[in-house]
Structure 1
């Protein structure tokens, strides 16, 4: 219409800006009658306010008291920013001031709001928010008290939260407040801020379009084809970031996309969803969930919720009945969803409406349940409008009925999926109790008034995230996380890692994480990698499935290829050399050349079927060879070793550091003893040659220099020498002595320092071919397993052979050993023997012949102890030293120990016999019956000179030590000599030494005495000679330390001979006058030492 006129009215409008925006439109000012208003500035002390010692509520109360003290009892209007401030002020004024105190704010019930307009017989004091600034005109106001503050709606595009911060009002708002007290008479306006503060405030309140969510504005503009948003002539142009935020919200909702037909980036166009959303005069988020409800089949339910979200909350909370209202509202609360709470209110209201059909009864229901009747009517109207628009029919029904909604789990899920489609960016994940992390890293708290408070689930969605005292999630509901990806797939960010072949699934998979608006909605799940990266999936399939042979199904071509490759790799293991077989990358390339883009077994099998066979995937032996090995070298490493008619399998591994490195020979349990007696190494000449080389290499450098090239020696030795099992060190020592006149003691070979692979690894297997145990020492392996077999087999023989508490030979002849028969035949041998334990003699079966022999000697001796018990008592009386001899013995040690040593000597020489038959036992007993006592006397006769010579030396040393008690060097020398005397003749010497050696001991004691006397007079000369002795004593000790327990008798005897030759050397050095039985000199000592060193074992 060309004659259309648009009239814009406002009390606080910036008229010049609007006039300019509409081609200098005329401005008509209509001023009402105003009476003079006195303005009083009463600013709050900022220091006291900062400390919390005063607040604007305190100042308001003080102002009212001051006015009443001045006898000013006309009506007062007080402006405060929040409901809480109003409640606190009303409570304090009611206690301290006269008059009728009334609150006024938007959420106050209509009945309570009407009270401010009713005449009152006394002064009215109205405490209001900025609702009384322009929305309502209250008559009869004489005084205004203005805190100068208000909650101002602000939208933060960065966090997408709506806040109501308390801010200073503009000058125009302050003037509008002042004008409320000059309508009917002169007025007084008291401002709780300074004149300077007022002067610095902006003239007008910031336009709402600059502090609002622009999504709805942008949607409407695009629907009306108003052109580019950025170039639209807004009266107040929004900030670009607010426009970008509005566009982002609409894109999140699927309402618009970039217009690719336009060259400018700011061009957008509506999607089908966006065009449908624009038909609803609602918030875009609400419109979006209505569209989703059509898809879900719950339009009626969502229409109810959408209408509720489009009006002010119908639940009222009267100032003086807060607790009653809360109790009434709790009847409707749903523990899982505040949106379902709306539906429960709707259902109760619909029941009453249908049953009563009476306005008065409806109003009573609303009053009883603290619901606003006016808002409930508004709710129904908007609900029907939504259904009309949604159905596409522009029909207005006069008799609209509210349909009761049945809610079950299925419809509940549909409802919340629909809500989620509109408020997807308002999802949140629980951190703890009522605290959540919302989309885009916002920290929010469930609103205490929510039905979910203290009961919220792991995931929620809220229709509002707003900032007041903190960021609250209001109107919330529990949701299922599995809904999020489906609804927000276009906004999800996917990351993949750990792509790998999954044998059980038969495909290449990866782990996937899904993030929506910064929140992880899927922490980790397994997905097919082919759809993500088919090229890389193929490579993984080839590398991990085909090359490694890790497939769950039998593929003939793969079995063929792996067998060929394993054959070539076995050559490497045998020769301990890499580079013969091709590497994994080479095999992978061979498959890549033959396969299309596939990464799973099912596709591979289909490909083989399509081609008619798997020949195209079968590789040749030469495909796996990188370098041809020498056939002669390979022949040195057999796959089987013959032991009689049996063939022992050999497995080779070239994996230094692993337990299986080297060659493993599989030995059936029944062939273990046979294998232990064989020289297995002779069947592996290259291994033996390498082992000998390393043994030679371990020799000291000065020894190696005397030999030809070690490789040459190892090669010749390995071919020529016949080596018994476990005697390689002995054979090699003999070989070096014979061929090169080089002495290498057997125990000097450092076999434990050889590389592990040079010792054969023996794997003992059972009848099923499973490994029982393994070791690189077949002797220990045999001992371990034979002991196990023996323990089993011995149990069957013990009852037959073993006897307890034996006191005489009443059990016949004892064999050296008995055969133990097991389930596989001969399981080994047991060795019967007598055993004496704590004075009790038993007949026992032993599994070790050495242990049996030792125990049997002791057992036979114990039987003789019983037989000759009386004789032994008599012997003990005869040998007990008395008088002066007892005193002399005390210098050596305990006389009782000496007695026992003499007894032990007699028993050792007479009783410790290896007899196996009763005849042998009895015949020997008869032979020694008359000799025991006389033999004891012989021992006493032999030791008497020793005791006397010891005593003489001991007394001399005591005398010399007393004499030289202040001469520390001499005293130290004498003490060392005394220790040597005790070492030469210990208390058990009768049992230690032969009769020949006993005869030498007095001479050694005499020589020691002479050395002590001369040393006390000329210590330097004596110690000089002792240094010569010490050289040989140390060499003797070194030989002792290096002699193995199982060393030959020859070596042990020679070592003992060296000890006594050193004693004779002492005689020749310090007491030449005593003579020696044979010539002794350093030359002879060195010769004997060399002889011992040349004994290789």
Structure 2
């Protein structure tokens, strides 16, 4: 800056002046260091764009390799420009003029090559080890890398449209990318309890040997690693120990998921697939929603609904995704929806067809609503749970499922198919509905009798058992239980309730034994409930988990009322084996 005075009077106090002519040496250094190396100038010179692109590529190499020794430092970049730039250039205008003329003679003028800016060769960073996409079926999802400890995106990030979250294989995400798998496995083993970890020392050597025999991306990473370590040492690591070790792994060794909506707009990110699936469930359904037209907003009618495809392609966030159309029941009306998993689509379609069959068979439905056996008693027994008309509706819908839909190789997907099926089986519906109503009354009578046992003074010694029984009952008989309980298990409810009666009769003489069993059953139920919640968030429908849930009831019968017998041979070992069949 300069100051101008006239006879000691300040005329201009602070005016910027060009520093180049004042100190051309320092000005040139500043121009190169701040302008060219750090990109602080506005210039259209193609060398600066090309060099910036090269540096970004090399910066990504460092992010992938998680090292800061690949790209040369600023002094090397400064030296590159210093050696090639004329001494008189120290401002943008002069630089642009000089470059425009001379780059016509030499198109590669001031354009850096990799060897100019690499501090070392990065041969370990290959496309195979650090891919830019993750292939899941026909989809290719973008991967990006970031190296900044404690940053939310540190590590590898997968860009995922919200509707694809439920279909993402959680086990595949454990493997990250080939270039990071060794570091992750070392971290997993080092996080094991010392008593286990000492079998695998030195850890890097054991991990390297194990990985040579493991096929990348197949199954569960901890289980695959555990099998090889067991083969090498004879030391077995339990699933629980691996799970605890995985929780302690640093964030950059867990896949980060960037979630986007149907248009590719950023919604959020995180490393917990189940939590993200739950958080963006609404966004997922919004992206899958059938395009709104006057026709699509009309409720689906039983006799006239058009064919619903089993699967179709939909463009979501620039990806052509396979989605599964199905009919959906909402508050008693049916409309068309789309789902990211075939299992969820099948479940929703079946429930919607039950509702449409009520429309298709309106006359017999009207008759049954007033003529079901035991209506008065049903109303009395159910009044603590809800209204009799809701119970009757559930009985009719559930009986339609067992009478009409059960046993069909494939569910009807158009009005004509549904009408033909309803006509073929309508003759036996009344019998099914009446049988289910009588069974429901039997269940409610047993349930009502058990409820009386909880009234009055409670023996504190029996409190643990009584709390366990109350929880069990609340998951057997509740508003809507007739329709929600699978038909093959609904008929077993009287036996399960009678087993509770026998348990209560024996309780005073075996309080301590009952307390031990209650503790075991509480843990098994919590395990089931946690997995069910996870599956619900992910849109999974696992028949093995449903079977496990009802085997828990059979296990209770085997503990407390052996004389009633069980539907299947059951024991804690059989339960554990069944749990191993459940989807993660």
Instruction: Mark yes or no: TM-score above 0.5.
Output: yes
SS in 2 for 1:929: helix
Residue 1030 (structure 1) aligns with: 518
Correspondence list, 1:84-163, <5 A: none
Distance 1:529 1:650 in 2: 47
Cα displacement (A) at 1:1010: 0.9
Cα displacement (A) at 1:543: 1.5
Cα displacement (A) at 1:732: 1.9
Correspondence list, 1:569-588, <5 A: 571-588=61-78
Cα displacement (A) at 1:1065: 1.4
Cα displacement (A) at 1:942: 3.1
Give the conservation status (yes or no) of the 8 Å contact 1:641–1:683.
no
Residue 233 (structure 2) aligns with: none
Counterpart of 1:631 (choices 120, 123, 128) is 123
1:1050 corresponds to 2:539: no
1:1085 corresponds to 2:572: yes
Correspondence list, 1:757-768, <5 A: 759=255
Residue 477 (structure 2) aligns with: 986
CA deviations on 1:421-446 (whole Å, 9 max, x unpaired) are xxxxxxxxxxxxxxxxxxxxxxxxxx
1:755 corresponds to 2:246: no
Residue 221 (structure 2) aligns with: 732
Cα displacement (A) at 1:735: 2.0
Correspondence list, 1:223-238, <5 A: none
Give the conservation status (yes or no) of the 8 Å contact 1:949–1:1005.
no
Residue 1004 (structure 1) aligns with: 499
Cα displacement (A) at 1:535: 5.8
Q: Structure 1 residues 718 and 952 mapped into 2: Cα distance closer, same or farther (>3 Å)?
A: same
1:846 corresponds to 2:341: no
Cα displacement (A) at 1:890: 5.8
Q: Structure 1 residues 640 and 786 mapped into 2: Cα distance closer, same or farther (>3 Å)?
A: same
CA deviations on 1:779-837 (whole Å, 9 max, x unpaired) are 9999999989977x946xx67x8584554424565442456699x9x956675544445
Distance 1:865 1:754 in 2: 55
Correspondence list, 1:664-679, <5 A: none
Distance 1:610 1:970 in 2: 96
Counterpart of 1:871 (choices 364, 368, 371) is 364
CA deviations on 1:629-662 (whole Å, 9 max, x unpaired) are 3635557657877999x99998765444567765
Cα displacement (A) at 1:860: 2.1
Give the conservation status (yes or no) of the 8 Å contact 1:832–1:852.
yes
Cα displacement (A) at 1:1085: 2.6
Cα displacement (A) at 1:861: 1.8
Q: Structure 1 residues 1026 and 896 mapped into 2: Cα distance closer, same or farther (>3 Å)?
A: farther
Cα RMSD between the aligned structures?
5.9
Cα displacement (A) at 1:865: 1.0
Distance 2:145 2:498 in 1: 66
Q: Structure 1 residues 785 and 577 mapped into 2: Cα distance closer, same or farther (>3 Å)?
A: same
Q: Structure 1 residues 897 and 1060 mapped into 2: Cα distance closer, same or farther (>3 Å)?
A: farther
Correspondence list, 1:805-816, <5 A: 807-810=301-304, 813-816=307-310
Counterpart of 2:425 (choices 928, 952, 973) is 928
Distance 1:665 1:893 in 2: 47
Distance 1:648 1:953 in 2: 55
SS in 1 for 2:427: coil
Distance 1:829 1:1080 in 2: 41
SS in 2 for 1:846: strand
Distance 2:267 2:377 in 1: 66
Cα displacement (A) at 1:1061: 0.8
Residue 600 (structure 1) aligns with: 91
Counterpart of 2:355 (choices 855, 862, 865) is 862
Distance 1:925 1:707 in 2: 64
Distance 2:208 2:358 in 1: 60
Give the conservation status (yes or no) of the 8 Å contact 1:814–1:832.
yes
Cα displacement (A) at 1:1036: 1.1
Distance 1:584 1:1024 in 2: 74
- Specify which structure has the higher proportion of strand: 1
Counterpart of 1:1066 (choices 527, 536, 560) is 560
Cα displacement (A) at 1:553: 3.8
Q: Structure 1 residues 715 and 558 mapped into 2: Cα distance closer, same or farther (>3 Å)?
A: same
Q: Which has the higher contact order (CA 8 A, sep 6+)?
A: 2
1:937 corresponds to 2:434: yes
Cα displacement (A) at 1:567: 6.9
Distance 1:686 1:1022 in 2: 58
Distance 2:449 2:97 in 1: 107
CA deviations on 1:1035-1054 (whole Å, 9 max, x unpaired) are 11331244131374324422
Q: Structure 1 residues 719 and 620 mapped into 2: Cα distance closer, same or farther (>3 Å)?
A: same
Give the conservation status (yes or no) of the 8 Å contact 1:834–1:859.
yes
Distance 1:561 1:805 in 2: 59
Give the conservation status (yes or no) of the 8 Å contact 1:744–1:1096.
no
Cα displacement (A) at 1:915: 1.3
Cα displacement (A) at 1:891: 7.5
Q: Structure 1 residues 705 and 894 mapped into 2: Cα distance closer, same or farther (>3 Å)?
A: farther
Give the conservation status (yes or no) of the 8 Å contact 1:954–1:978.
no
Residue 544 (structure 1) aligns with: 34
Give the conservation status (yes or no) of the 8 Å contact 2:307–2:414.
yes
Distance 1:650 1:928 in 2: 53
Give the conservation status (yes or no) of the 8 Å contact 1:953–1:1009.
no
SS in 2 for 1:902: helix
Distance 2:547 2:453 in 1: 34
TM-score (norm 1): 0.40
Cα displacement (A) at 1:1028: 0.5
Distance 1:1079 1:555 in 2: 79
Distance 2:259 2:383 in 1: 61
CA deviations on 1:898-954 (whole Å, 9 max, x unpaired) are 545533432342355721255642443234323222223323443455445445545
Distance 2:329 2:464 in 1: 46
Give the conservation status (yes or no) of the 8 Å contact 1:805–1:840.
yes
Cα displacement (A) at 1:1000: 0.9
Distance 1:773 1:854 in 2: 30
SS in 1 for 2:477: coil
Give the conservation status (yes or no) of the 8 Å contact 1:1064–1:1080.
no
Give the conservation status (yes or no) of the 8 Å contact 1:690–1:758.
no
Give aligned pairs, total: 543
Counterpart of 2:239 (choices 744, 751, 754) is 744
Distance 1:809 1:761 in 2: 44
Correspondence list, 1:610-629, <5 A: 624-626=117-119, 628-629=120-121
Distance 2:57 2:377 in 1: 88
Q: Structure 1 residues 586 and 1080 mapped into 2: Cα distance closer, same or farther (>3 Å)?
A: same
TM-score (norm 2): 0.67
Larger radius of gyration: 1
